[in-house]
Structure 1
Amino acid sequence: MDFVDNGLYRDITEYARDTPTWIQHTAEIGTEAGLLVFVALFVAGWWRARHAGTRAFAIAALAPVATAVAYVCSEVLKSGVTQERPCRAVAGAAAPLAECPPHGDWSFPSNHATIAGASALTLVLVRRALVWLTVPLALLMAFSRVFVGVHYPHDVAAGLLLGAVLALTVVRLGTRPATRLATALRGSPAPAARWLAGPGPAPVTERPAPPYTTHRRR
């Protein structure tokens, strides 16, 4: 398995070195910029959910929290596995495009991929239409970590799966208490709490029924 993974890592990094310079620079920037895109989507999802029902708001508020929990779990697992980065461990591999992290910043699983997997899934739970944006972005971010030479393929695959599973678990377990909290915030006398949770959906006003008229027969 290590032989196959090392060979795939070499193939990808060698291919990366043969790509045009603009692609290399885009990959280096994009591997970090993708995180900012997810942050912006979290903020947009929260803002939109302020005018939605309490359950929808609760899920939108839980999305970044679930992602943070997935990241912490990834970091704990990484500290236990202590796998060396491929940019130091794989002999004969092409030089990485990004700077190789220092010794002690372990490789398995990929924190970036974990965050990407968790973000993609939770944002889809917030709004299903986002699947066409978040899933490709998460896959691209995960691949970019191998492309720039700082992770093995199995690091990012495990990170995506770990992030998605943990984030889904947190949202499922936390939706009910978060919904109760959202209800309390919207009914709070504190203006800051009401602003944070938003006003909720606009009340539906019923249109008055048209007046009853009779028609004479001629």
Structure 2
Amino acid sequence: MTFEDTALYRDITDFAHDSPMWVRHGAELWTEAGLLVFVGLFAAAWWRARRDSAHAFAIAALAPLATAVAYVCSELLKSVVAEERPCRAVAGAAASLSACPPHGDWSFPSNHATIAGAAAVALALVRRALLWLTAPLALLMAFSRVFVGVHYPHDVVAGLALGTVVALVAVRLGTGPATRLARAMRGSPAPVVRWVTGPGRPSRPAAIPSYEMPADR
């Protein structure tokens, strides 16, 4: 880590301690419970995609899976880097608002930021307009991890970047097979399977050709 990064961590945590009580409590709540907002968005995207094309349903189904893959990648990278948490490593810094994770729960990259970044991008792939909602939520989640004192700024930047890349790659690679699977599931004889995938987009009825009676001659 750089001196500038440590100094920025101190500035943010000092700012957190100078913030009003409701801001501090809000940050502590959001930094954990905020992930549930993305879960709710995943559920809403799946429900909406049940009445859309198999391709759209496949992307909606892949969104949480891509986020889970990003989380696993983050955990693997954590075990390789093994960076100590700033709430334990930075001398003279303000006490963290959230409990400092135990030794061995490494800092780089931020799992929360990785999940938020992956979820934001994956949901935007489901519906592009969602990016106006998911991007600010992901940035707020990332900032909250530094604000409550459990991550360095570079931890959350790396987490957002990792989540974005993994989500893009996972959805791109998985869309083809997932689309074929969605079509097969929608034709399944099992009612539960058909309910999960939904009826899909109703097909338009074929146009009925009109015939004109020949004129009498």
The two structures have a TM-score, normalised by structure 1, of 0.94
The one-letter code sitting in structure 2 at the alignment partner of 1:118 is: A
Question: Which residue matches 1:185?
Answer: 185
Q: How does 1:34-45 map to 2 (within 5 A)?
A: 34-45=34-45
How many residues are paired up?
Answer: 213
Structure 1 position 34, deviation (Å): 1.4
The one-letter code sitting in structure 2 at the alignment partner of 1:33 is: A
Cα distance in 2 for partners of 1:200, 1:111 equals: 34
Unpaired runs of at least 5, structure 2: 213-217
The one-letter code sitting in structure 2 at the alignment partner of 1:47 is: W
For 2:101, what is the secondary structure of its paired residue?
Answer: coil
Task: Decide which moves more: 63-72 or 189-198.
Answer: 189-198
Question: Which residue matches 1:64?
Answer: 64
Question: Which residue matches 1:202?
Answer: 202
Q: How does 1:18-37 map to 2 (within 5 A)?
A: 18-37=18-37
Answer yes or no: is 1:83 the counterpart of 2:83. yes
Deviation string 1:168-215 (CA, Å, 9 cap, x unpaired) is 100000000000100110011111111111110122246879998xxx
Question: Which residue matches 2:215?
Answer: none
Deviation string 1:61-111 (CA, Å, 9 cap, x unpaired) is 000000000000100100111100000000110011111001110000000
Unpaired runs of at least 5, structure 1: 213-218
Question: Which residue matches 1:216?
Answer: none
Cα distance in 1 for partners of 2:86, 2:95 equals: 10
The one-letter code sitting in structure 2 at the alignment partner of 1:199 is: P
Answer yes or no: is 1:11 the counterpart of 2:24. no
Question: Which residue matches 2:175?
Answer: 175
Answer yes or no: is 1:138 the counterpart of 2:138. yes
Q: Calculate the aligned-residue CA RMSD, in Å.
A: 1.6
For 2:52, what is the secondary structure of its paired residue?
Answer: coil
Question: Which residue matches 1:128?
Answer: 128
Cα distance in 2 for partners of 1:113, 1:172 equals: 21
The two structures have a TM-score, normalised by structure 2, of 0.94
Cα distance in 2 for partners of 1:208, 1:176 equals: 33
For 1:202, what is the secondary structure of its paired residue?
Answer: coil
Cα distance in 2 for partners of 1:146, 1:177 equals: 39
For 1:162, what is the secondary structure of its paired residue?
Answer: helix
Cα distance in 2 for partners of 1:22, 1:211 equals: 73
Cα distance in 2 for partners of 1:191, 1:162 equals: 38
The one-letter code sitting in structure 2 at the alignment partner of 1:133 is: L
Cα distance in 2 for partners of 1:198, 1:147 equals: 42
For 2:92, what is the secondary structure of its paired residue?
Answer: coil
Cα distance in 2 for partners of 1:76, 1:49 equals: 32
Cα distance in 2 for partners of 1:89, 1:175 equals: 43
Cα distance in 1 for partners of 2:160, 2:38 equals: 14
Question: Which residue matches 1:215?
Answer: none
The one-letter code sitting in structure 2 at the alignment partner of 1:191 is: P
Cα distance in 2 for partners of 1:211, 1:38 equals: 55
Question: Which residue matches 1:107?
Answer: 107
Percent same amino acid among aligned pairs? Answer: 71
Cα distance in 1 for partners of 2:210, 2:36 equals: 53
